[in-house]
Each structure stands twice: as structure tokens, then as C-alpha cells.
Chain A
Amino acid sequence: DAEITQSPRHKITETGRQVTLACHQTWNHNNMFWYRQDLGHGLRLIHYSYGVHDTNKGEVSDGYSVSRSNTEDLPLTLESAASSQTSVYFCASSSGLAPNEQFFGPGTRLTVL
């Protein structure tokens, strides 16, 4: 069965360190998205990609970067982790066909100390 996976599921890091969160999907979807979930804010879009070598900034992209070298993967990098980036991160993908239903991974809980 097709799926979308994230790793690690839990990560503790220190302020200033570079961190990369992995996202891998076997749906063969063109579109991939990264969100963060915080209490009182719901899900906020960080970055998204509509295909290989395509990346776009979402509403809360500062301090984050992504790259899309193949269809299956969209890793999210925190260049220099900050305590404000402590959150639960979700990756999602969609096929690009209407009505744009997104499929979500299980999430990564990141703590920045």
C-alpha cells in the first residue's frame, strides 16, 4: 500500500544546530507540503513543492528550507534551530488532481532546547 512516512518521529536538539526532518511518500504524488502544528494556530504551511526541483515558501518559512531532488522525498531543514521552532511537523502530499485532497504523514515532534 502507498504511504507517507516521516523520520525521526521524535527529535531533541540544541539551539543553533542544523536539523533535517525526512519525508518520503510512495504515492507518486507531484505535490508535497510541510506544516507545523502549534496550539492555538492549527496547521501552518512552511514550504511546498509542485514537482522535482520546484520549491515555494509558505506563510511561516523563515528559518526553514527544503529541496526536491526526486518525486518521493521532501526533506525539511532547520538551518539554525531556535526554541520557537519547537513544534510538531507534518508532511503531506497530493496528486495535483482535483479536489486536492492531501495525505498526511504521522508527524515529527521536535524539541529545541
Chain B
Amino acid sequence: GNSVTQMEGPVTLSEEAFLTINCTYTATGYPSLFWYVQYPGEGLQLLLKATKADDKGSNKGFEATYRKETTSFHLEKGSVQVSDSAVYFCAGGEAQKLVFGQGTRLTINP
């Protein structure tokens, strides 16, 4: 079956640092890939998505590129802010169901 593996946390960075959170997927076909963000006490919100190989999703300064050759969808941001502190989930799905990674808790210190 399909599975998603993402970088374990927690991750702690200083403000303005560069961020990478790794995500790799295993699938029999060609899933759509997503990054969701969860702020404290809230549900998950879609951060960005990509539906096919070489697509780049971007939002709020975050980017991720769908790499078919490495089956990866790593999340990056060039300069993080304190407000980016949250839990980030990578997810993938070929039909209507999604499979989620275990989540990475990110803390940004001022």
C-alpha cells in the first residue's frame, strides 16, 4: 500500500534560518502530494500541493517540488518566522483517501 515517511521532529530553528522538512512516499501509482500545517489547538490546513511530477507547490514562502525520480516532496522555506511554529504533515493520495506522515513539530525561536 501507499505510505508517507517524513522527517522526525521536533525541529528547532532560529528566526530567518533556512528550513527543510523531508518527505518521501511509496506508491504503486502517481499520487497527488500535499503539505498540511496544524497550528496549536486547530485542525489541519492545506499549505501547498502538487498533482504530478515536477510540479512545484508554493504558499506563504514555503515550496515543495514533486520529484518522481527520488519519490520525494521536501518542504522548504528560505527564512522562517516565529509565526511558522506549528506541526507540518506530508500526505499523499491516488484516489480520494490520503495517507499522512507522522508529522514534524517545528519551533522557531526569535
Contacts and interface: CB of A to CB of B under 8 A. Distances in A.
B57 to A, nearest CB: 10
A101 B34 contact: yes
A88 to B, nearest CB: 10
A16 interface: no
A103 B32 CA distance: 15
B64 to A, nearest CB: 14
A103 B44 CA distance: 8
Interface stretch (A61-69, A70-78, A79-87, A91-99): A91-99
5 contacts: A42-B102, A45-B97, A100-B93, A104-B45, A107-B42
Interface of A: 31, 33, 35, 40-45, 48, 50, 58, 90, 92, 94, 96, 98-107
Interface in B43-98: 43-46, 49, 51, 89, 93, 95-98
A8 to B, nearest CB: 15
A106 B41 CA distance: 8
B98 A102 contact: yes
Contacts of A48: 96-97
